[in-house]
Protein backbone atom coordinates (compact mmCIF):
# COMPACT_ATOMS: atom_id res chain seq x y z
CA UNK A 1 0.00 0.00 0.00
CA UNK A 2 1.14 3.52 -0.70
CA UNK A 3 2.12 5.41 2.40
CA UNK A 4 4.23 8.21 3.78
CA UNK A 5 5.83 7.96 7.21
CA UNK A 6 7.23 10.79 9.26
CA UNK A 7 8.68 8.97 12.24
CA UNK A 8 9.03 11.99 14.49
CA UNK A 9 5.82 13.52 15.83
CA UNK A 10 7.75 16.47 17.21
CA UNK A 11 11.35 17.67 17.33
CA UNK A 12 12.98 20.38 19.41
CA UNK A 13 16.16 22.11 18.26
CA UNK A 14 18.07 25.12 19.48
CA UNK A 15 18.14 28.24 17.37
CA UNK A 16 21.19 28.15 15.13
CA UNK A 17 21.45 24.36 15.24
CA UNK A 18 21.03 22.15 12.23
CA UNK A 19 17.81 20.34 11.46
CA UNK A 20 16.86 17.10 9.75
CA UNK A 21 13.26 15.93 9.43
CA UNK A 22 12.74 12.39 8.26
CA UNK A 23 10.35 11.11 5.63
CA UNK A 24 10.02 7.60 4.29
CA UNK A 25 7.60 6.47 1.64
CA UNK A 26 6.23 3.26 0.29
CA UNK A 27 5.29 3.50 -3.35
CA UNK A 28 5.22 1.30 -6.45
CA UNK A 29 7.56 3.55 -8.42
CA UNK A 30 9.61 6.63 -7.68
CA UNK A 31 6.97 9.23 -6.96
CA UNK A 32 7.04 12.98 -7.02
CA UNK A 33 8.03 14.16 -3.55
CA UNK A 34 7.12 17.30 -1.64
CA UNK A 35 7.67 19.07 1.64
CA UNK A 36 5.14 21.54 2.98
CA UNK A 37 5.24 23.80 6.04
CA UNK A 38 2.28 24.98 8.06
CA UNK A 39 2.41 27.76 10.63
CA UNK A 40 -0.32 27.72 13.29
CA UNK A 41 -3.71 28.66 11.85
CA UNK A 42 -2.31 28.99 8.34
CA UNK A 43 -2.51 26.97 5.17
CA UNK A 44 0.23 24.64 4.00
CA UNK A 45 3.02 26.25 2.00
CA UNK A 46 5.14 24.34 -0.49
CA UNK A 47 8.81 24.33 0.58
CA UNK A 48 10.27 22.22 -2.21
CA UNK A 49 9.56 19.38 -4.59
CA UNK A 50 11.45 16.62 -6.35
CA UNK A 51 10.42 15.29 -9.73
CA UNK A 52 13.63 13.90 -11.22
CA UNK A 53 17.30 14.69 -11.79
CA UNK A 54 19.59 15.97 -9.07
CA UNK A 55 18.68 14.20 -5.86
CA UNK A 56 19.49 17.23 -3.72
CA UNK A 57 16.70 19.76 -4.02
CA UNK A 58 16.84 23.36 -2.86
CA UNK A 59 13.72 25.04 -1.57
CA UNK A 60 12.59 28.26 -0.05
CA UNK A 61 13.62 29.63 3.34
CA UNK A 62 17.03 27.90 3.19
CA UNK A 63 15.65 24.35 3.22
CA UNK A 64 16.91 21.47 1.16
CA UNK A 65 15.94 17.82 0.82
CA UNK A 66 17.74 14.77 -0.44
CA UNK A 67 16.06 11.94 -2.28
CA UNK A 68 17.60 8.54 -1.56
CA UNK A 69 16.03 5.87 -3.73
CA UNK A 70 17.74 2.96 -1.94
CA UNK A 71 16.28 4.09 1.38
CA UNK A 72 12.93 5.33 0.03
CA UNK A 73 13.59 8.52 1.92
CA UNK A 74 13.25 12.23 1.30
CA UNK A 75 14.64 13.96 4.38
CA UNK A 76 14.39 17.70 4.87
CA UNK A 77 17.40 19.65 6.17
CA UNK A 78 18.38 23.12 7.18
CA UNK A 79 21.89 24.04 8.34
CA UNK A 80 20.86 26.72 10.84
CA UNK A 81 17.37 26.95 12.28
CA UNK A 82 15.71 30.27 13.03
CA UNK A 83 12.96 30.79 15.62
CA UNK A 84 10.56 31.58 12.78
CA UNK A 85 10.98 28.02 11.47
CA UNK A 86 8.85 26.70 14.33
CA UNK A 87 5.90 25.12 12.53
CA UNK A 88 4.55 21.79 11.38
CA UNK A 89 6.17 20.10 8.43
CA UNK A 90 4.47 17.65 6.09
CA UNK A 91 6.05 15.28 3.60
CA UNK A 92 3.89 14.23 0.64
CA UNK A 93 4.09 11.99 -2.44
CA UNK A 94 2.23 11.89 -5.73
CA UNK A 95 2.41 9.47 -8.67
CA UNK A 96 5.19 10.23 -11.16
CA UNK A 97 2.71 9.94 -14.00
CA UNK A 98 1.23 13.21 -12.88
CA UNK A 99 -2.31 13.13 -11.72
CA UNK A 100 -3.93 14.08 -8.55
CA UNK A 101 -3.57 11.50 -5.82
CA UNK A 102 -1.26 13.11 -3.30
CA UNK A 103 -0.65 11.36 0.01
CA UNK A 104 0.47 13.34 3.06
CA UNK A 105 2.45 12.19 6.05
CA UNK A 106 1.13 12.84 9.54
CA UNK A 107 3.47 15.78 10.04
CA UNK A 108 6.35 16.68 12.34
CA UNK A 109 6.00 19.64 14.66
CA UNK A 110 9.22 21.61 15.07
CA UNK A 111 9.89 23.54 18.25
CA UNK A 112 12.80 25.99 18.34
CA UNK A 113 14.33 26.96 21.67
CA UNK A 114 16.35 30.11 22.23
Partner 1 sequence: DSGVTQTPKHLITATGQRVTLRCSPRSGDLSVYWYQQSLDQGLQFLIQYYNGEERAKGNILERFSAQQFPDLHSELNLSSLELGDSALYFCASVSWSGTQYFGPGTRLTVL
Closest CA to 109 of 3, 12, 4: 12
Backbone angles phi, psi at 57, to 5 degrees: -110, 135
95 binds partner 1 (CB under 8 A): yes
Where residue 70 falls (left for φ over 0; alpha for ψ -120 to 50; beta otherwise) is: alpha
Under rule CB under 8 A, residue 39 binds partner 1: no
At closest approach, how far in Å is the CB of 32 from partner 1?
5
34: contact with partner 1 by CB under 8 A: yes
Residues with Cβ within 8 Å of residue 40, at least 6 apart in sequence: 87
Instruction: Decide: helix, strand or coil at residue 34.
Output: strand
The verdict on 30 binding partner 1 (CB under 8 A) reads: no
* Nearer to partner 1 (CB atom), residue 28 or residue 43: 43
Q: Number of residues in contact with partner 1, rule: CB under 8 A?
A: 23
**Would you count residue 53 as binding partner 1 (CB under 8 A)?**
no
What is the binding site for partner 1 (CB under 8 A)?
Answer: 32, 34, 36, 41-46, 49, 51, 90, 92, 94-95, 98-102, 104, 106-107
Amino acid sequence: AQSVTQPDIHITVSEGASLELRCNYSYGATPYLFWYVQSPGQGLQLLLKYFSGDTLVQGIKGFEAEFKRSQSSFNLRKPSVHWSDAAEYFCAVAPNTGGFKTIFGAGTRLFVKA
